[in-house]
Amino acid sequence: MWAVNVDGSNQQILVDHPNDKDVEGDLSPSGNEVVFPFDTGNWTYNRQVRIWNLTNSSETVIRNSDGCPDHWPRFSPDGSKICWVQYTSSGRPGNLFVMNADGTNVSQISFAAGNQAYEDTYWCRQDGRIYCPADLDGQYDLYSMAADGSNVLRLTNTPTINESAPTVGYLNP
Of 26 and 163, CB closest to Ca ion = 163
The full length of the chain comes to 173
- The residue with its CB nearest to Ca ion is 158
Cβ atoms of 76 and 123 closer than 8 Å: yes
| Listed ranges 27-35, 50-58, 98-106, 155-163: which one lies at the site for Ca ion (CB under 5 A) | 155-163
Of 130 and 142, CB closest to Ca ion = 142
Of 133 and 149, CB closest to Ca ion = 133
Site residue total, Ca ion (CB under 5 A): 4
Of these, 118, 141, 143, 166, which contacts Ca ion (CB under 5 A)? 141
Of 89 and 157, CB closest to Ca ion = 157
The DSSP output letter for 45 is S
The DSSP output letter for 55 is T
Here's the x/- map for Ca ion, 120-139, by CB under 5 A: it reads as: -------------------x
Of these, 4, 106, 155, 161, which contacts Ca ion (CB under 5 A)? 161
What is 81-135 written as a DSSP string? EEEEEE--TTS---EEEEEETTS-S-EE-----TT-EE---EE-TTT--EEEEEE
80 binds Ca ion (CB under 5 A): no
Cα–Cα separations (whole angstroms), residue 76 to 41, 106, 116, 164: 28, 14, 25, 20
CB 136, min distance to Ca ion, A = 10
CB 72, min distance to Ca ion, A = 19
158 binds Ca ion (CB under 5 A): yes
CB 71, min distance to Ca ion, A = 20
Cβ atoms of 69 and 87 closer than 8 Å: yes
Cα–Cα separations (whole angstroms), residue 59 to 30, 48, 73, 102, 140: 16, 12, 15, 12, 34
Please tell me the distance from the alpha carbon of residue 76 to that of residue 50, in angstroms, as a whole number.
16
Interface residue list for Ca ion (CB under 5 A)? 139, 141, 158, 161
